[in-house]
Structure 1
Amino acid sequence: MPAFLPDLPVILGFAVAAFALAITPGPDLALFVSRTMHWGRGHGFATVLGAYSGIAVHTMLVAFGISVLIIAAPAAFFALKILGALYLVWLAVQAIRDGGGLLVPRAAGKQPSWGQSYLTGLGINLTNPKVALFFVTFLPQFVSASDPHAPGKLIFLGGEFILVSLPVVIGAVLFAEWLTRTLKEKAWVGRALNWSFAAVFMAFAATILLAEGRR
Protein backbone atom coordinates (compact mmCIF):
# COMPACT_ATOMS: atom_id res chain seq x y z
CA MET A 1 0.00 0.00 0.00
CA PRO A 2 1.40 3.45 -0.92
CA ALA A 3 2.56 5.45 2.10
CA PHE A 4 0.21 8.36 1.32
CA LEU A 5 -2.92 6.19 1.59
CA PRO A 6 -4.73 6.36 4.96
CA ASP A 7 -6.14 3.18 6.46
CA LEU A 8 -9.47 1.99 5.03
CA PRO A 9 -11.53 2.95 8.14
CA VAL A 10 -10.11 6.48 7.88
CA ILE A 11 -10.97 6.70 4.18
CA LEU A 12 -14.54 5.53 4.83
CA GLY A 13 -15.05 7.75 7.87
CA PHE A 14 -13.80 10.80 6.03
CA ALA A 15 -16.05 10.00 3.06
CA VAL A 16 -19.10 10.15 5.37
CA ALA A 17 -17.97 13.51 6.77
CA ALA A 18 -17.28 14.90 3.32
CA PHE A 19 -20.70 13.84 2.04
CA ALA A 20 -22.40 15.43 5.06
CA LEU A 21 -20.64 18.73 4.38
CA ALA A 22 -21.46 18.56 0.66
CA ILE A 23 -25.22 18.19 1.18
CA THR A 24 -25.34 20.89 3.88
CA PRO A 25 -26.84 24.07 2.37
CA GLY A 26 -24.27 26.82 2.17
CA PRO A 27 -23.35 29.90 0.15
CA ASP A 28 -21.23 27.86 -2.24
CA LEU A 29 -24.07 25.48 -3.17
CA ALA A 30 -26.49 28.41 -3.43
CA LEU A 31 -24.06 30.12 -5.79
CA PHE A 32 -23.74 27.04 -8.03
CA VAL A 33 -27.51 26.84 -8.38
CA SER A 34 -28.06 30.55 -8.89
CA ARG A 35 -25.32 30.91 -11.51
CA THR A 36 -26.79 27.98 -13.43
CA MET A 37 -30.30 29.40 -13.30
CA HIS A 38 -29.17 32.80 -14.45
CA TRP A 39 -26.47 32.10 -17.03
CA GLY A 40 -26.76 28.39 -17.85
CA ARG A 41 -25.09 25.09 -17.10
CA GLY A 42 -21.69 26.17 -18.44
CA HIS A 43 -21.44 29.00 -15.92
CA GLY A 44 -22.67 26.71 -13.16
CA PHE A 45 -19.87 24.26 -13.85
CA ALA A 46 -17.33 27.11 -14.21
CA THR A 47 -18.34 28.29 -10.73
CA VAL A 48 -18.01 24.74 -9.41
CA LEU A 49 -14.51 24.51 -10.93
CA GLY A 50 -13.56 27.76 -9.19
CA ALA A 51 -14.86 26.52 -5.84
CA TYR A 52 -13.00 23.24 -6.16
CA SER A 53 -9.84 25.09 -7.03
CA GLY A 54 -10.36 26.81 -3.68
CA ILE A 55 -10.68 23.40 -2.03
CA ALA A 56 -7.33 22.45 -3.56
CA VAL A 57 -5.82 25.60 -2.04
CA HIS A 58 -7.28 24.81 1.39
CA THR A 59 -5.92 21.26 1.15
CA MET A 60 -2.41 22.39 0.27
CA LEU A 61 -2.43 24.98 3.07
CA VAL A 62 -3.37 22.34 5.62
CA ALA A 63 -0.98 19.74 4.19
CA PHE A 64 2.02 22.03 4.46
CA GLY A 65 1.08 23.70 7.72
CA ILE A 66 0.49 27.26 6.49
CA SER A 67 -3.07 27.29 7.81
CA VAL A 68 -1.72 26.83 11.31
CA LEU A 69 -0.63 30.45 11.11
CA ILE A 70 -4.26 31.50 10.67
CA ILE A 71 -5.32 29.62 13.78
CA ALA A 72 -2.36 31.02 15.71
CA ALA A 73 -3.28 34.56 14.66
CA PRO A 74 -6.95 35.14 15.63
CA ALA A 75 -6.94 38.60 14.07
CA ALA A 76 -6.08 37.13 10.68
CA PHE A 77 -8.82 34.52 10.94
CA PHE A 78 -11.30 37.17 12.11
CA ALA A 79 -10.40 39.23 9.01
CA LEU A 80 -11.06 36.19 6.82
CA LYS A 81 -14.53 35.76 8.33
CA ILE A 82 -15.40 39.44 7.88
CA LEU A 83 -14.15 39.36 4.30
CA GLY A 84 -16.32 36.32 3.62
CA ALA A 85 -19.37 38.02 5.13
CA LEU A 86 -18.86 41.16 3.04
CA TYR A 87 -18.45 39.04 -0.09
CA LEU A 88 -21.80 37.36 0.62
CA VAL A 89 -23.44 40.78 1.05
CA TRP A 90 -22.06 41.77 -2.35
CA LEU A 91 -23.48 38.59 -3.90
CA ALA A 92 -26.87 39.35 -2.33
CA VAL A 93 -26.86 42.83 -3.89
CA GLN A 94 -25.93 41.31 -7.25
CA ALA A 95 -28.86 38.90 -6.95
CA ILE A 96 -31.49 41.67 -6.94
CA ARG A 97 -29.97 44.61 -8.83
CA ASP A 98 -30.99 45.29 -12.42
CA GLY A 99 -28.72 43.59 -14.88
CA GLY A 100 -26.70 41.88 -12.19
CA GLY A 101 -29.00 39.24 -10.81
CA LEU A 102 -27.96 35.68 -10.37
CA LEU A 103 -30.96 33.85 -11.69
CA VAL A 104 -33.28 34.70 -14.56
CA PRO A 105 -31.51 36.36 -17.52
CA ARG A 106 -32.56 39.89 -18.37
CA ALA A 107 -32.09 41.71 -21.66
CA ALA A 108 -30.20 44.56 -19.98
CA GLY A 109 -27.86 42.27 -18.10
CA LYS A 110 -24.30 41.73 -19.26
CA GLN A 111 -23.41 38.06 -19.27
CA PRO A 112 -20.15 37.36 -17.44
CA SER A 113 -17.39 35.30 -19.01
CA TRP A 114 -16.75 31.77 -17.85
CA GLY A 115 -13.57 33.12 -16.29
CA GLN A 116 -15.56 35.55 -14.18
CA SER A 117 -17.85 32.74 -13.02
CA TYR A 118 -14.76 30.69 -12.18
CA LEU A 119 -13.30 33.56 -10.12
CA THR A 120 -16.63 34.05 -8.33
CA GLY A 121 -16.63 30.39 -7.29
CA LEU A 122 -12.99 30.62 -6.22
CA GLY A 123 -13.64 33.78 -4.20
CA ILE A 124 -16.65 32.47 -2.29
CA ASN A 125 -14.84 29.24 -1.45
CA LEU A 126 -11.64 30.89 -0.23
CA THR A 127 -13.61 33.32 1.96
CA ASN A 128 -16.14 30.77 3.24
CA PRO A 129 -15.38 30.22 6.97
CA LYS A 130 -17.28 26.89 6.93
CA VAL A 131 -14.89 25.45 4.36
CA ALA A 132 -11.82 27.01 5.99
CA LEU A 133 -12.78 25.65 9.41
CA PHE A 134 -13.50 22.20 7.98
CA PHE A 135 -10.10 21.90 6.37
CA VAL A 136 -8.09 23.63 9.09
CA THR A 137 -9.66 21.94 12.12
CA PHE A 138 -11.29 18.73 10.88
CA LEU A 139 -9.05 17.42 8.11
CA PRO A 140 -5.98 17.07 10.38
CA GLN A 141 -8.01 14.85 12.75
CA PHE A 142 -7.63 12.02 10.25
CA VAL A 143 -3.82 11.90 10.43
CA SER A 144 -1.26 11.70 13.21
CA ALA A 145 1.03 14.66 13.79
CA SER A 146 3.93 12.22 14.18
CA ASP A 147 3.18 10.49 10.87
CA PRO A 148 6.00 11.33 8.40
CA HIS A 149 3.56 10.76 5.56
CA ALA A 150 0.90 13.12 6.98
CA PRO A 151 1.21 15.76 4.18
CA GLY A 152 0.63 13.12 1.51
CA LYS A 153 -2.33 11.68 3.39
CA LEU A 154 -3.87 15.14 3.82
CA ILE A 155 -3.57 15.77 0.10
CA PHE A 156 -5.20 12.37 -0.55
CA LEU A 157 -8.08 13.25 1.78
CA GLY A 158 -8.53 16.59 0.02
CA GLY A 159 -8.84 14.73 -3.27
CA GLU A 160 -11.26 12.30 -1.66
CA PHE A 161 -13.41 15.23 -0.52
CA ILE A 162 -13.63 16.44 -4.12
CA LEU A 163 -14.56 12.98 -5.44
CA VAL A 164 -17.24 12.45 -2.78
CA SER A 165 -18.84 15.89 -3.01
CA LEU A 166 -18.59 16.42 -6.78
CA PRO A 167 -21.62 14.23 -7.66
CA VAL A 168 -23.71 16.30 -5.22
CA VAL A 169 -22.84 19.64 -6.82
CA ILE A 170 -23.12 18.25 -10.36
CA GLY A 171 -26.61 17.04 -9.47
CA ALA A 172 -27.45 20.48 -8.07
CA VAL A 173 -26.32 22.20 -11.29
CA LEU A 174 -28.27 19.81 -13.52
CA PHE A 175 -31.38 20.16 -11.34
CA ALA A 176 -31.08 23.96 -11.50
CA GLU A 177 -30.85 23.78 -15.29
CA TRP A 178 -34.00 21.64 -15.45
CA LEU A 179 -35.84 23.94 -13.05
CA THR A 180 -34.92 26.98 -15.13
CA ARG A 181 -36.24 25.41 -18.32
CA THR A 182 -39.46 24.55 -16.50
CA LEU A 183 -40.12 27.90 -14.84
CA LYS A 184 -38.38 30.60 -16.90
CA GLU A 185 -41.62 31.45 -18.70
CA LYS A 186 -43.01 32.90 -15.45
CA ALA A 187 -41.42 36.25 -14.63
CA TRP A 188 -42.66 36.31 -11.02
CA VAL A 189 -40.86 33.03 -10.34
CA GLY A 190 -37.58 34.57 -11.47
CA ARG A 191 -38.04 37.60 -9.24
CA ALA A 192 -38.96 35.41 -6.28
CA LEU A 193 -35.91 33.21 -6.81
CA ASN A 194 -33.61 36.22 -7.12
CA TRP A 195 -34.87 37.58 -3.80
CA SER A 196 -34.69 34.12 -2.23
CA PHE A 197 -31.03 33.71 -3.12
CA ALA A 198 -30.33 37.26 -1.94
CA ALA A 199 -31.93 36.33 1.39
CA VAL A 200 -29.79 33.18 1.62
CA PHE A 201 -26.56 35.11 1.06
CA MET A 202 -27.58 37.84 3.53
CA ALA A 203 -28.54 35.23 6.16
CA PHE A 204 -25.13 33.59 5.95
CA ALA A 205 -23.44 36.99 6.14
CA ALA A 206 -25.51 38.00 9.18
CA THR A 207 -24.74 34.70 10.91
CA ILE A 208 -21.00 35.25 10.48
CA LEU A 209 -21.09 38.87 11.64
CA LEU A 210 -23.36 38.21 14.65
CA ALA A 211 -21.28 35.24 15.75
CA GLU A 212 -18.15 37.36 15.74
CA GLY A 213 -19.94 40.25 17.45
CA ARG A 214 -20.76 38.09 20.50
CA ARG A 215 -17.08 37.33 21.11
Structure 2
Amino acid sequence: MIELNHWFIFIGAALIMAITPGPNLIYLLSRSICQGRNAAIVSLFGVVTAFLVHMFAAAIGLTALFLTIPIAYIILKWLGAGYLLWLAWQAMRPNAKSPFEARELAPDSRPKLWLMGFMTSFLNPKIAIFYLSILPQFISPQHGSVFAQSLTLGFTQIVVSFMVNLTVILTAAGLARWFALNPLWLLIQRYVMGIVLLGLALRLLIEQRKMA
Protein backbone atom coordinates (compact mmCIF):
# COMPACT_ATOMS: atom_id res chain seq x y z
CA MET A 1 0.00 0.00 0.00
CA ILE A 2 1.40 3.38 -1.02
CA GLU A 3 1.37 6.06 1.67
CA LEU A 4 -1.17 8.76 0.86
CA ASN A 5 1.25 11.66 1.21
CA HIS A 6 3.74 9.92 -1.09
CA TRP A 7 0.96 9.33 -3.61
CA PHE A 8 0.05 13.03 -3.64
CA ILE A 9 3.71 13.98 -4.06
CA PHE A 10 3.93 11.51 -6.94
CA ILE A 11 0.90 13.14 -8.58
CA GLY A 12 2.73 16.45 -8.38
CA ALA A 13 5.87 14.89 -9.86
CA ALA A 14 3.85 13.31 -12.67
CA LEU A 15 2.20 16.66 -13.37
CA ILE A 16 5.53 18.47 -13.56
CA MET A 17 6.94 15.76 -15.82
CA ALA A 18 3.89 16.00 -18.08
CA ILE A 19 4.43 19.71 -18.73
CA THR A 20 8.23 19.64 -19.09
CA PRO A 21 9.58 20.00 -22.64
CA GLY A 22 9.56 16.64 -24.38
CA PRO A 23 8.66 14.88 -27.64
CA ASN A 24 5.12 13.91 -26.58
CA LEU A 25 3.90 17.36 -25.58
CA ILE A 26 5.55 19.12 -28.50
CA TYR A 27 4.23 16.55 -30.99
CA LEU A 28 0.65 16.68 -29.70
CA LEU A 29 0.62 20.47 -29.56
CA SER A 30 1.97 20.71 -33.08
CA ARG A 31 -0.42 18.05 -34.38
CA SER A 32 -3.41 19.84 -32.89
CA ILE A 33 -2.39 23.16 -34.48
CA CYS A 34 -1.53 21.66 -37.90
CA GLN A 35 -4.29 19.05 -38.31
CA GLY A 36 -6.90 19.78 -35.65
CA ARG A 37 -8.06 18.42 -32.30
CA ASN A 38 -9.45 15.12 -33.59
CA ALA A 39 -6.15 14.19 -35.21
CA ALA A 40 -4.26 15.10 -32.03
CA ILE A 41 -6.63 13.00 -29.89
CA VAL A 42 -6.01 9.95 -32.11
CA SER A 43 -2.28 10.55 -31.63
CA LEU A 44 -2.83 10.89 -27.88
CA PHE A 45 -4.30 7.38 -27.71
CA GLY A 46 -1.14 6.13 -29.41
CA VAL A 47 0.90 7.93 -26.77
CA VAL A 48 -1.16 6.33 -23.96
CA THR A 49 -0.74 2.86 -25.49
CA ALA A 50 3.03 3.30 -25.32
CA PHE A 51 2.67 4.43 -21.68
CA LEU A 52 1.02 1.07 -20.92
CA VAL A 53 3.91 -0.80 -22.52
CA HIS A 54 6.45 1.18 -20.48
CA MET A 55 4.41 0.73 -17.31
CA PHE A 56 4.06 -3.06 -17.46
CA ALA A 57 7.70 -3.52 -18.51
CA ALA A 58 8.85 -1.34 -15.62
CA ALA A 59 6.54 -3.06 -13.11
CA ILE A 60 7.86 -6.50 -14.04
CA GLY A 61 11.47 -5.33 -14.18
CA LEU A 62 11.39 -3.39 -10.89
CA THR A 63 9.76 -6.32 -9.09
CA ALA A 64 12.51 -8.68 -10.23
CA LEU A 65 15.23 -6.12 -9.51
CA PHE A 66 14.12 -5.29 -5.98
CA LEU A 67 13.79 -8.98 -5.10
CA THR A 68 17.21 -9.99 -6.41
CA ILE A 69 19.38 -6.87 -5.93
CA PRO A 70 18.19 -4.80 -2.91
CA ILE A 71 20.87 -2.12 -3.39
CA ALA A 72 19.36 -1.39 -6.82
CA TYR A 73 16.50 0.36 -4.99
CA ILE A 74 18.91 2.94 -3.55
CA ILE A 75 20.80 3.33 -6.84
CA LEU A 76 17.60 4.00 -8.78
CA LYS A 77 16.56 6.60 -6.22
CA TRP A 78 19.81 8.52 -6.66
CA LEU A 79 19.56 8.26 -10.44
CA GLY A 80 16.01 9.61 -10.26
CA ALA A 81 17.05 12.63 -8.22
CA GLY A 82 19.93 13.25 -10.62
CA TYR A 83 17.57 13.10 -13.59
CA LEU A 84 15.29 15.69 -12.00
CA LEU A 85 18.29 17.98 -11.53
CA TRP A 86 19.18 17.51 -15.22
CA LEU A 87 15.60 18.35 -16.26
CA ALA A 88 15.74 21.49 -14.11
CA TRP A 89 18.92 22.57 -15.91
CA GLN A 90 17.37 21.80 -19.32
CA ALA A 91 14.41 24.03 -18.43
CA MET A 92 16.50 26.98 -17.20
CA ARG A 93 19.60 26.82 -19.41
CA PRO A 94 20.16 29.67 -21.90
CA ASN A 95 18.33 29.32 -25.24
CA ALA A 96 16.20 26.41 -23.98
CA LYS A 97 12.98 25.70 -25.86
CA SER A 98 9.53 25.89 -24.30
CA PRO A 99 7.13 22.96 -24.88
CA PHE A 100 4.57 25.52 -26.09
CA GLU A 101 6.59 26.37 -29.19
CA ALA A 102 4.99 24.25 -31.93
CA ARG A 103 6.50 22.91 -35.17
CA GLU A 104 5.01 22.29 -38.63
CA LEU A 105 3.52 18.84 -39.37
CA ALA A 106 1.91 17.48 -42.55
CA PRO A 107 -1.59 15.89 -42.32
CA ASP A 108 -1.67 12.09 -41.80
CA SER A 109 -4.27 9.29 -41.78
CA ARG A 110 -5.78 8.02 -38.50
CA PRO A 111 -3.75 4.77 -38.41
CA LYS A 112 -0.56 6.73 -39.02
CA LEU A 113 -1.55 9.30 -36.40
CA TRP A 114 -1.96 6.54 -33.81
CA LEU A 115 1.31 4.91 -34.85
CA MET A 116 3.23 8.18 -34.77
CA GLY A 117 1.82 8.96 -31.33
CA PHE A 118 2.80 5.48 -30.15
CA MET A 119 6.33 5.65 -31.56
CA THR A 120 6.89 9.20 -30.28
CA SER A 121 6.01 8.03 -26.77
CA PHE A 122 7.62 4.58 -26.99
CA LEU A 123 10.96 6.03 -28.12
CA ASN A 124 10.75 9.00 -25.75
CA PRO A 125 13.72 8.73 -23.36
CA LYS A 126 11.95 10.96 -20.83
CA ILE A 127 9.18 8.37 -20.38
CA ALA A 128 11.56 5.43 -20.10
CA ILE A 129 13.72 7.23 -17.53
CA PHE A 130 10.64 8.35 -15.60
CA TYR A 131 9.51 4.74 -15.12
CA LEU A 132 12.99 3.45 -14.34
CA SER A 133 14.32 6.18 -12.07
CA ILE A 134 11.54 8.53 -10.91
CA LEU A 135 8.78 6.01 -10.23
CA PRO A 136 11.00 3.84 -7.94
CA GLN A 137 11.44 6.89 -5.68
CA PHE A 138 7.89 6.31 -4.46
CA ILE A 139 7.99 2.52 -4.11
CA SER A 140 8.80 0.93 -0.78
CA PRO A 141 9.27 -2.87 -0.68
CA GLN A 142 8.26 -2.74 2.99
CA HIS A 143 4.78 -1.55 2.01
CA GLY A 144 3.73 -4.62 0.05
CA SER A 145 3.90 -5.85 -3.53
CA VAL A 146 6.34 -3.86 -5.67
CA PHE A 147 4.38 -4.93 -8.76
CA ALA A 148 1.08 -3.61 -7.34
CA GLN A 149 2.70 -0.34 -6.23
CA SER A 150 4.29 0.05 -9.69
CA LEU A 151 0.94 -0.43 -11.42
CA THR A 152 -0.81 2.01 -9.08
CA LEU A 153 1.78 4.70 -9.68
CA GLY A 154 1.95 3.88 -13.38
CA PHE A 155 -1.80 4.26 -13.89
CA THR A 156 -1.65 7.50 -11.86
CA GLN A 157 1.02 8.86 -14.20
CA ILE A 158 -1.00 7.84 -17.26
CA VAL A 159 -4.15 9.58 -16.02
CA VAL A 160 -2.25 12.76 -15.11
CA SER A 161 -0.40 12.81 -18.43
CA PHE A 162 -3.59 12.10 -20.39
CA MET A 163 -5.43 14.99 -18.75
CA VAL A 164 -2.52 17.41 -19.27
CA ASN A 165 -2.07 16.43 -22.91
CA LEU A 166 -5.81 16.52 -23.60
CA THR A 167 -5.97 20.03 -22.13
CA VAL A 168 -3.06 21.10 -24.33
CA ILE A 169 -4.76 19.59 -27.40
CA LEU A 170 -8.06 21.34 -26.73
CA THR A 171 -6.40 24.71 -26.13
CA ALA A 172 -3.42 24.38 -28.50
CA ALA A 173 -4.29 27.19 -30.91
CA GLY A 174 -5.06 29.64 -28.11
CA LEU A 175 -1.92 28.65 -26.16
CA ALA A 176 0.37 29.01 -29.16
CA ARG A 177 -1.16 32.37 -30.11
CA TRP A 178 -1.01 33.70 -26.54
CA PHE A 179 2.62 32.66 -26.03
CA ALA A 180 3.57 34.11 -29.43
CA LEU A 181 2.14 37.46 -28.31
CA ASN A 182 3.66 37.19 -24.83
CA PRO A 183 7.18 35.71 -25.26
CA LEU A 184 8.20 36.79 -21.76
CA TRP A 185 5.83 34.16 -20.35
CA LEU A 186 7.71 31.42 -22.23
CA LEU A 187 10.78 32.41 -20.23
CA ILE A 188 8.83 32.62 -16.95
CA GLN A 189 7.19 29.23 -17.63
CA ARG A 190 10.62 27.61 -18.13
CA TYR A 191 12.10 29.08 -14.95
CA VAL A 192 9.08 28.21 -12.79
CA MET A 193 9.18 24.66 -14.11
CA GLY A 194 12.92 24.43 -13.52
CA ILE A 195 12.64 25.69 -9.93
CA VAL A 196 9.87 23.18 -9.15
CA LEU A 197 11.96 20.33 -10.60
CA LEU A 198 14.97 21.48 -8.59
CA GLY A 199 12.88 21.57 -5.42
CA LEU A 200 11.55 18.06 -6.02
CA ALA A 201 15.06 16.72 -6.66
CA LEU A 202 16.43 18.32 -3.48
CA ARG A 203 13.51 16.96 -1.45
CA LEU A 204 14.23 13.44 -2.68
CA LEU A 205 17.94 13.78 -1.91
CA ILE A 206 17.25 15.09 1.62
CA GLU A 207 14.72 12.31 2.26
CA GLN A 208 17.20 9.68 1.10
CA ARG A 209 19.89 11.06 3.44
CA LYS A 210 17.46 10.82 6.36
CA MET A 211 16.76 7.18 5.44
CA ALA A 212 20.49 6.39 5.18
Question: For the superposition of Structure 1 and Structure 2, which TM-score range results when normalised by the shorter chain?
Answer: 0.5 to 0.7
1:62 aligns with 58
State the Cα deviation string for residues 93-138 of structure 1 (Å, max 9, x = none). Answer: xx98xxxx51xxxxxx6x4221211111110111111111111111
Is 1:167 aligned to 2:151, yes or no? no
CA gap of 1:64–1:146, structure 2 versus 1, over 3 A, is farther
Is 1:134 aligned to 2:130, yes or no? yes
Work out whether residues 43 and 114 of structure 1, in 8 Å CA contact, stay in contact via their aligned partners in 2.
yes
Identical amino acids, percent of aligned pairs:
32
* Residues 95-174 of structure 1 mapped to structure 2, 5 A cutoff: 101-102=104-105, 111-145=107-141, 148-174=144-170
1:18 aligns with 14
Say which structure is richer in helix: 2
Q: Aligned match of 1:46 in 29, 39, 42?
A: 42
Unaligned runs of 5+ in 1: 73-94, 103-108, 184-188, 190-215
State the Cα deviation string for residues 184-206 of structure 1 (Å, max 9, x = none). Answer: xxxxx9xxxxxxxxxxxxxxxxx
1:28 aligns with 24
Paired amino acid for 1:53? T
Cα shift at 1:35: 0.9
Runs of 4+ in 1 over 3 A off after TM superposition: 66-69, 145-148, 177-180
Count the aligned residue pairs: 144
CA RMSD of aligned residues (A): 2.9
Name the SS of the counterpart of 2:15 in structure 1.
Answer: helix
Q: Tell me, in whole angstroms, the C-alpha distance in 1 between the residues paired with 2:54 and 2:127.
A: 8
Paired amino acid for 1:18? A
Cα shift at 1:12: 0.6
Cα shift at 1:166: 2.3
Q: Tell me, in whole angstroms, the C-alpha distance in 2 between the residues paired with 1:177 and 1:116.
A: 22
Unaligned runs of 5+ in 2: 66-71, 73-101, 181-212
Q: Tell me, in whole angstroms, the C-alpha distance in 1 between the residues paired with 2:64 and 2:124.
A: 17
Q: Tell me, in whole angstroms, the C-alpha distance in 2 between the residues paired with 1:161 and 1:171.
A: 15
Q: Tell me, in whole angstroms, the C-alpha distance in 2 between the residues paired with 1:172 and 1:122.
A: 18
Q: Tell me, in whole angstroms, the C-alpha distance in 1 between the residues paired with 2:152 and 2:161.
A: 14
